[in-house]
């Protein structure tokens, strides 16, 4: 990976940025996934300077003059690595000041009100301001696109723009914004959420006053679908069935340790649903859950 600057940029720096961007747009949250991918992108973008030939390298201070967010990104990277920063005058105090947040905005259309959710990773600065880390990463990436082009490492690439996509349409009939939140049992869980609403008179988003409000949060245990593929060895006919497991069955399959145990479980479920006969001398099958 490190034998060629062009390859390093595309395979590590650009790929890390894209991985974070895709995660940011997904409806999957939890396990600090977005935060981890954001830090990976920050590491790649900040340390790219060290992979440039030494006689062409620019200092952190010089790059910060070209892009002030490069200096901020350096503090983000160091805070993520060392947890607490005590030397100099960093713009970020500690790793805890880099955090994920889900923002839910209330809109309305002809069908009524609906929610739209968006995930972001923010960094709180020592001056009290808060920055969207995706914006910081994008600004630094645009700087590198220009620098690497000037060095003849890559061709010309138009700067990446973060555009306002306007009012998002409702994503479900009920108006609920789907977001799958994954939690690890026995591991601390932190979930930052901000509720706001769109003011159609001013055309701006406003914070919601939750004084006296009662918040409700529902947690569901994960359920599994069992995909069973049946094949008749004589005729070659294949049948694929999908079985939704119950809560008890889903918890049970998580406790299975060997392929033999899982195979026995699949046979049991298939027979219970009448998909597999009690005699399976002519039937071979495979399954995924």
Instruction: Check residue 188 and give its pLDDT.
Output: 83
Instruction: Check residue 276 and give its pLDDT.
Output: 67
Cβ atoms of 198 and 167 within 8 Å: the answer is yes
Question: Distance of alpha carbon 68 from its chain centroid, rounded?
Answer: 26
Instruction: Check residue 2 and give its pLDDT.
Output: 47
Cβ atoms of 230 and 276 within 8 Å: the answer is yes
CA 264/CA 271 separation, integer angstroms: 11
Of the chain, the end-to-end C-alpha distance in Å amounts to: 35
Q: What is the mean pLDDT of each run of 10 residues along the chain (289 residues)?
A: 80 96 88 94 97 93 97 96 91 94 90 90 96 97 96 93 86 74 81 89 88 72 70 70 79 80 82 67 46
Half-sphere exposure of 6 (CA within 13 A, CB side): 8
Instruction: Check residue 277 and give its pLDDT.
Output: 63
CA 260/CA 30 separation, integer angstroms: 32
> pTM score > 0.85 for this model?
no
Per-residue pLDDT tens digits for 175-230: 777 777 787 878 888 888 888 999 999 999 998 888 887 877 666 665 677 777 76
């Amino acid at each position: 990976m490190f034998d060629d600057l062009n390859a390093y940029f595309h395979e590590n720096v650009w790929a890390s940025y894209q991985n974070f961007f895709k995660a940011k747009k997904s409806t999957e949250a939890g396990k600090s996934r977005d935060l981890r991918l954001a830090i990976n992108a920050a590491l790649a973008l900040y340390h790219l300077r060290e992979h440039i030939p030494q006689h062409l390298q620019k200092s952190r201070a010089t790059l910060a003059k070209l892009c002030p967010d490069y200096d901020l990104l350096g503090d983000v990277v160091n805070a993520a690595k060392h947890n607490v920063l005590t030397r100099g005058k960093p713009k970020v105090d500690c790793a805890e000041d880099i955090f994920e947040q889900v923002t839910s905005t209330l809109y309305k259309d002809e069908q009524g009100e609906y929610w739209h959710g968006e995930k972001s990773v923010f960094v709180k600065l020592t001056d009290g301001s808060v920055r969207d880390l995706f914006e910081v990463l994008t600004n630094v990436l645009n700087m590198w696109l220009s620098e690497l082009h000037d060095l003849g490492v890559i061709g010309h690439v138009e700067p990446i723009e973060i555009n306002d996509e306007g009012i998002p349409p409702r994503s479900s009939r009920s108006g609920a914004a789907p977001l799958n939140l994954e939690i690890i049992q026995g591991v601390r869980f932190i979930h930052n959420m901000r509720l706001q609403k769109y003011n159609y008179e001013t055309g701006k988003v406003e914070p919601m006053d939750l004084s006296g409000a009662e918040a409700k949060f529902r947690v569901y245990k994960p359920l599994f679908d069992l995909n069973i593929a049946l094949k008749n060895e004589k005729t070659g006919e294949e049948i694929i069935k999908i079985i939704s497991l119950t809560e008890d069955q889903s918890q049970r399959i998580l406790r299975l340790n060997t392929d033999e145990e899982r195979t026995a479980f699949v046979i049991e479920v298939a027979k219970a649903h009448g998909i597999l006969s009690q005699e399976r001398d002519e039937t071979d099958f495979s399954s995924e859950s």
